[in-house]
Amino acid sequence: MKSSGSRFFSTLEKSAAGAVIQQKFRDSMATMGSQAMILTSAGPTSMPHSSFRGVTLSSVSSLSLKPQPMLQFNLQLPSFTSEALHAHNYFAIHLLKPDSRSKALARTFSKGAMTHQDSGKVMPTQPFKDLTESVHYNTYSLKENDLVIPMLANAERVFVCQKKDVFKVGDHEVWIGNVEDIIENNTLGTGKISGGLIYCNRKFHKLGGHIE
């Protein structure tokens, strides 16, 4: 079939190693802009807040509207956040303001696990350790379950979700959540839409002008 305009050519030899393809895939995906959102997991009301779990995501997307709104995302395994989600089933997904505070939070929540220098034991990071309740976050109560979900103050909107389904694909889990509530930040002003915090080419961005 004839085509006018640009042509695309493979830069890979057919015998290219899988590792090369993986790196090219990673680099290609980095050229795509995506929402940087933070997930926080529910925990028992008695849990020390420094032990709350959370992670930065770039894979959140809407899955359906009917019969109930649902979101989906994926987590790389192993994951301490995944363990918390399996234990408590409720979580919050934050649409972040496109500012330097959100950038810092996204960096903090993306650090994953850490290895103890002396014992070599793998331990969870503590993204809430340096955050202050009622300043940097508040808690959303699930009284019937004796759980709370931490909600970050720098979010524009927060989607409160209950686990619908989860399944493993490769070295990741794909999660589906029913959206049970949506909390809007009433400090932003009516009708303001920022587009959220965007991650592209390994840097954070904010939405520019629309295309005419």
Domains of the chain, by residue range, sit at 35-205
Question: Is residue 127's pLDDT more than 90?
Answer: yes
Mean of all residue pLDDT scores within the chain: 90
Q: Which residue has the tokens 């587009």?
A: 195
Grade residue 15 by pLDDT with cuts at 50, 70 and 90: very low
What's the CATH code, domain 35-205? 2.30.110.10
For range 18-33, the mean pLDDT: 87
Q: Which of 17-31, 147-161, 167-181, 184-198 has the lowest mean pLDDT?
A: 184-198
Question: Is residue 176's pLDDT more than 70?
Answer: yes
Question: Is residue 17's pLDDT more than 90?
Answer: no
Question: Is residue 117's pLDDT more than 90?
Answer: no
Q: Which pLDDT value is given to residue 10?
A: 61
Question: Is residue 188's pLDDT more than 90?
Answer: no
Q: Which pLDDT value is given to residue 50?
A: 93
Q: What is the pLDDT of residues 46-89, one digit of tens each?
A: 999 999 999 999 999 999 999 999 999 999 999 999 999 999 99
- pTM higher than 0.75, yes or no? yes
Question: Is residue 2's pLDDT more than 60?
Answer: no
For range 112-127, the mean pLDDT: 76
Grade residue 44 by pLDDT with cuts at 50, 70 and 90: very high
Strand positions, DSSP E, the chain: 34-35, 37-41, 43-44, 54-57, 61-64, 70-76, 90-96, 113-115, 122-124, 137-142, 147-152, 155-169, 172-184, 198-200, 203-205
Q: Which pLDDT value is given to residue 8?
A: 64
Grade residue 189 by pLDDT with cuts at 50, 70 and 90: low
Q: Which residue has the higher pLDDT, 72 or 2?
A: 72
For range 181-200, the mean pLDDT: 84
